[in-house]
Structure 1
Amino acid sequence: MRTDPLFQPVKSEARATRTVRLSFNGQPLTVPAGLSVAAALLMSGVQRFRATPVSEAPRAPYCMMGVCFECLVDIDGVPNRQSCLIEVAEGMRIRSQEGARDLIYQPATVQVVEVQP
């Protein structure tokens, strides 16, 4: 019976040496380049990414593949970003998301096309 892990971390010398600087809730962090925001924050010891709108219960990443929406954060002033799907970038400003956020409605322009018989 196979007992070794099926998934192995990618070993890359570039990842081991290259880092990016970002901030989480105003605290500076230096993390390896090439990670998702969620992985970088978890690696840095962050345990609470957001609070639920109703009970304000703490939440953190669960699925790490964009299905559960537990990892929502505000990145560079844009709310509702799934941190598990976004790669870290130099100077990124990340904030925990507290409670509900408004969805910004931006209606698309509609073009009326007449069909000739």
Structure 2
Amino acid sequence: MTARLIRAEDDPIERRVSARLTATFDGKPLEGEAGQTVAGLLLANGIDSWRTTSVNGRPRGLFCGIGVCFDCIVTVNDERDVRACQRRVRDGDVVCPQHDELPEVKH
């Protein structure tokens, strides 16, 4: 199998122009297209990390891209634990990063 580049005018899929939409992430307005996932919107706008781990504060974003892991979780319209790779973005969505601290261990 070899990879090949297909010129846009020869592409059999014939990409169509999608409706434009606007959503916000962490208070910043982002432009996107209808049909994009939240993760797709963030990546298309140059945002590749939108969560940090609770233990060491390491950056996280899209990992598996198919909803198996939980690295891409965000809060959308005040709903927590939304997998950004699974949720299609809608015009006007308010997306926020989700940073959870570990609970204190009481001895």
- Let me know the Cα RMSD of the aligned residues: 2.1
Aligned pairs for 1:66-105 (under 5 A) are 66-100=67-101
Alpha carbons of structure 1 residues 11 and 99: separation in structure 2 relative to 1, 3 Å: farther
Question: Is the counterpart of residue 13 in structure 1 residue 16 in structure 2?
Answer: yes
Cα distance in structure 2, aligned partners of 1:48 and 1:74: 14
Question: Is the counterpart of residue 4 in structure 1 residue 7 in structure 2?
Answer: no
Cα distance in structure 1, aligned partners of 2:44 and 2:102: 26
Matched position secondary structure for 1:84: coil
Cα distance in structure 2, aligned partners of 1:11 and 1:79: 37
Question: Is the counterpart of residue 61 in structure 1 residue 62 in structure 2?
Answer: yes
Alpha carbons of structure 1 residues 39 and 101: separation in structure 2 relative to 1, 3 Å: farther
Cα distance in structure 1, aligned partners of 2:30 and 2:81: 21
1:25 Cα deviation after fit: 0.2
Checking the alignment, whether the CA contact within 8 Å between 2:21 and 2:91 is kept in structure 1 is yes
Question: Is the counterpart of residue 43 in structure 1 residue 44 in structure 2?
Answer: yes
TM superposition score normalised by structure 1: 0.74
**Structure 2, unpaired ranges of 5+:** 5-10
Matched position secondary structure for 1:39: helix
Structure 1 equivalent of residue 7 of structure 2: none
1:42 Cα deviation after fit: 0.6
Matched position secondary structure for 1:41: helix
Checking the alignment, whether the CA contact within 8 Å between 1:56 and 1:99 is kept in structure 2 is no
Matched position secondary structure for 1:70: coil
Structure 1 equivalent of residue 8 of structure 2: none
Checking the alignment, whether the CA contact within 8 Å between 1:54 and 1:99 is kept in structure 2 is no
Cα distance in structure 2, aligned partners of 1:52 and 1:78: 19
Checking the alignment, whether the CA contact within 8 Å between 2:60 and 2:72 is kept in structure 1 is yes
